[in-house]
């Protein structure tokens, strides 16, 4: 067919059948990008298109394209490295592209936009038919964009291409909306946490306590997690980078959970054992950063990096079971913190200061108590396990809102509206004013007076370590 085209004046020859489309096109010297079908041209019942950039046309005279409209019942769906662990379905036409001597071009690449048969399937992956393995493979192909209608792939070689997708439907959830909610929420939380950390550092002399130290560790861990999530969760174009991002996310999220457990244990001791004075953070904080590293190390050793990242996002594999290396410890910590939360709220309501208040005042105190404690103890993460069927799709939106705004809620209740922060700020302002006054009085004299204020003699602040006043902080 290529020889016939060489003798013809036509630049493209196309043959159409009900289940097959074959096209051969000439490549003129100095051509820009070439495509199939040609720009502005449509081929009936063909959902796929191919674009070959100018850099890939060096030394090429023609290319041929074959579109197999439906081979889903003929070809196997087994995938290299996945075997039968993932149930996949061919959800597109199979597109074949042929060019002579393309291997000589080191910069060769081709972009394919392949339409989906069924719009409700999930987890698209760019695949090619590996003849040596007699199965589908993803090596050399990366997913550039996807939606319910089509998927765009870029590959650095030629063969038969198709989109394999999970047969599990996801038409009840708008993934774009979830992405926007997560991105906006994480950005707001990141800003709020940076302000919280900066304010605590500025007022550290007046706010130093065990709970403040835990809060700072938790805030820093959340800042790191938000930064990695925003900057790296979708870096799927590079497998090594994606794997590294998945490992980092697993570690830092586990650190966040262990710090939330530390927070829960510390608050429980403050409320339930009011006369306890021994500091626990000397061993709890180091463990909160070290135990996640042990879990991640075991996961890496057991999986040899298999399951870290996929075609859609840089996170842990669900199909291979690696996700349980995060979910299991997270659920255990949530369960422990939930029990501690019940004990804390119960003890707070039984406190003498609340016992004499009206039901309305108790309700307000209870709501504030939950707003303060839930983000710190991570109990909102339990929402993730309630998405069990299509009728519970709303849970994914609530989960995305609550957990992306966890850092903002911490900023709101532990910085912006916190009484200790306001009191500490007033003390620091008074101290500066006192030092300025003494400096002015002593100017021009041979001997200056020592700068002493009441704060230096007795630096009494509204501390988190005062268990009898805990209910007033809520």
The residue-averaged pLDDT of 32-39 equals: 83
CATH 2.60.220.50 fits 7-168, yes or no: yes
Domain 175-421: CATH superfamily is Rhodopsin 7-helix transmembrane proteins (1.20.1070.10)
> What's the pTM value of the predicted model, to 2 decimals?
0.61
Structure confidence at residue 84 as a pLDDT band (50, 70, 90): very low
CA dist 420 and 414 (Å) reads 9
| Whether pLDDT at 258 is above 90 | yes
Instruction: Look at residue 119 and tell me whether its pLDDT is greater than 70.
Output: yes
pLDDT for the residue 293: 95
pLDDT band of 364, cuts 50, 70, 90: low
Q: Is the pLDDT confidence value at 224 over 90? A: yes
- Average pLDDT value for the chain: 76
What 3-state class would DSSP assign to 13? strand
Per the CB < 8 A criterion, the answer to whether 274 and 467 are in contact is yes
CA 116 – CA 51 distance, rounded (Å) = 18
Q: Could you give the CA distance from residue 279 to residue 286 in angstroms, rounded to a whole number?
A: 13
What pLDDT score was predicted for residue 296? 94
Q: What is the DSSP-derived secondary structure letter of residue 98? A: E
pLDDT at 166: 58
**Domain residue spans of the chain:** 7-168, 175-421
Three-state secondary structure call for residue 351 = coil
Most confident of 276-280, 329-333, 457-461: 329-333
Distances (CA, A) of 291 to 187, 248, 378: 28, 14, 18
User: What number of residues does the chain have?
Assistant: 474
Tokens coding 273: 């054992």
CA–CA dist 210, 360 (Å, integer): 32
Greater confidence (453 vs 315) lies with 315
Higher pLDDT: 398 or 129? It is: 129
Report the pLDDT value the prediction gives residue 311, as an integer from 0 to 100.
64
Query: What pairing do the DSSP bridges indicate for beta strands 20-26 and 12-17?
Result: antiparallel
């Amino acid at each position: 067919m290529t020889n016939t085209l060489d003798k013809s004046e036509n630049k493209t020859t196309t043959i159409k059948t009900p289940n097959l489309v074959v096209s051969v096109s000439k490549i003129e010297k100095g051509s820009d990008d070439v495509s199939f079908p040609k720009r502005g041209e449509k081929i009936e019942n063909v959902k796929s298109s191919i674009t070959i950039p100018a850099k890939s046309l060096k030394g090429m005279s023609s290319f041929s394209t074959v579109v197999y409209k439906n081979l889903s019942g003929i070809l196997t769906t087994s995938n290299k490295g996945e075997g039968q662990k993932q149930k996949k379905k061919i959800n597109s036409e199979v597109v074949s592209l042929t060019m002579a001597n393309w291997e000589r071009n080191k910069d060769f690449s081709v972009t394919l936009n392949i339409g989906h048969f069924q719009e409700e399937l999930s987890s698209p992956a760019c695949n090619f038919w590996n003849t040596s393995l007699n199965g589908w493979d993803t090596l050399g192909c990366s997913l550039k964009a996807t939606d319910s209608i089509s998927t765009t792939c870029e590959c650095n070689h030629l063969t038969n291409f198709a989109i394999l997708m999970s047969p599990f439907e996801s038409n009840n959830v708008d993934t774009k909306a979830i992405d926007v909610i997560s991105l906006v929420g994480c950005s707001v939380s990141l800003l709020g946490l940076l302000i919280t950390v900066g304010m605590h550092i500025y007022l550290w002399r007046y706010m130093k306590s065990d709970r403040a130290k835990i809060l700072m560790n938790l805030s820093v861990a959340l800042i790191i997690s938000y930064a990695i999530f925003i900057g790296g969760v979708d870096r799927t174009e590079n497998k090594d980078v994606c794997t590294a991002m998945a490992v980092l996310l697993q570690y830092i999220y586990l650190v966040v959970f262990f710090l939330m457990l530390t927070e829960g244990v510390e608050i429980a001791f403050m409320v339930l054992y009011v006369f306890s004075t021994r500091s626990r953070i000397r061993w709890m904080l180091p463990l909160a950063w070290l135990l996640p590293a042990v879990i991640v190390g075991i996961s890496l050793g057991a999986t040899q990096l298999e399951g870290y990242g996929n075609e859609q996002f840089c996170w842990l594999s669900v199909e291979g079971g690696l996700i349980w290396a995060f979910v299991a410890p997270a659920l255990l910590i949530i369960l422990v913190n939930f029990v501690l939360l019940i004990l804390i709220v119960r003890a707070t309501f039984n406190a003498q200061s609340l016992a004499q208040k009206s039901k309305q005042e108790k309700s307000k105190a209870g709501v504030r108590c939950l707003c303060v404690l839930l983000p710190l103890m991570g109990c909102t993460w339990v929402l993730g396990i309630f998405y069990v069927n299509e009728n519970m799709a709303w849970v994914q939106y609530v989960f995305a809102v609550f957990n992306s705004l966890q850092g903002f809620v911490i900023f709101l209740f532990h910085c912006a509206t916190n009484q200790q922060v306001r009191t500490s700020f007033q003390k620091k302002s008074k101290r500066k004013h006192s030092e300025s006054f003494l400096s002015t009085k002593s100017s021009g004299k041979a001997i200056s007076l020592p700068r002493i204020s009441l704060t230096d003699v007795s630096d009494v602040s509204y501390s988190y370590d005062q268990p009898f006043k805990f209910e007033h902080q809520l």
